[in-house]
Amino acid sequence: MRTRHIFAGFLLLAAALGLCSCGPKLPELPVENVKPYFADAAKTKAIDTAFYEVKDAQGKKLGTVLYSSPYSDNVKGFNGPTPLLIALDADGRIKNVVLLDNEETPRFAERVVEGGLYEAWNGLTVDEALNKEVDAVSGATYTSTGVKNSLVARLQAYQKQVK
């Protein structure tokens, strides 16, 4: 019994010192996946399963990629969740908001793109984006409301992560 406690203590100490990877391994984000948003990207670093730092070849931080899932999985559009990729530049301003694979009706999803909803947050800080009133796109109200609510849920979670 005492040996188990000593071993458990050793594992905790080793994990705290970074001497072993005793915890779950975070998923990697291939650099190719962030190139559309960060042309100079050379590596990504997982902060959690939906939060990645993007760096260039010299290690300079270019920005951050956030995935709305799992933080917004309960947010629904017309046909289900509206998962997003949110790219922030090095200054924490939104570069891109992209709707990922989803079950939305394609014509409704296209109306949201055509209506300029995703660009409505470009250039804004997280605080500015959370405080901005963005109108739903006519003819795609459920989908655009799902996108807005997914973005808000993820940005609120991000704020808590970086405090």
Return the pLDDT at 14: 43
Rounded to the nearest 5°, which phi and psi values hold at 99? -80, 125
Return the pLDDT at 9: 43
Return the pLDDT at 149: 97
8-state DSSP, 153: H
User: What does the block give as tokens for 76?
Assistant: 């629904």
Return the pLDDT at 141: 95
Return the pLDDT at 3: 43
User: What does the block give as tokens for 58?
Assistant: 């010299």
User: What does the block give as tokens for 37?
Assistant: 């948003």
Q: Which of 73, 116, 63 is nearest to 94 (CA)?
A: 63
Rounded to whole angstroms, the Cα distance separating 14 from 86 reads 34
Return the pLDDT at 23: 58
Return the pLDDT at 24: 67
Return the pLDDT at 26: 83
What residue ranges of the chain have pLDDT lower than 70? 1-24
- Kindly report, residue by residue over 138-148, the tens digit of the pLDDT: 999 999 999 99
Return the pLDDT at 22: 55
Return the pLDDT at 78: 93
Quote the strand ranges of the chain, DSSP E.
Answer: 43-48, 51-55, 61-67, 84-89, 94-99
Rounded to whole angstroms, the Cα distance separating 56 from 2 reads 48
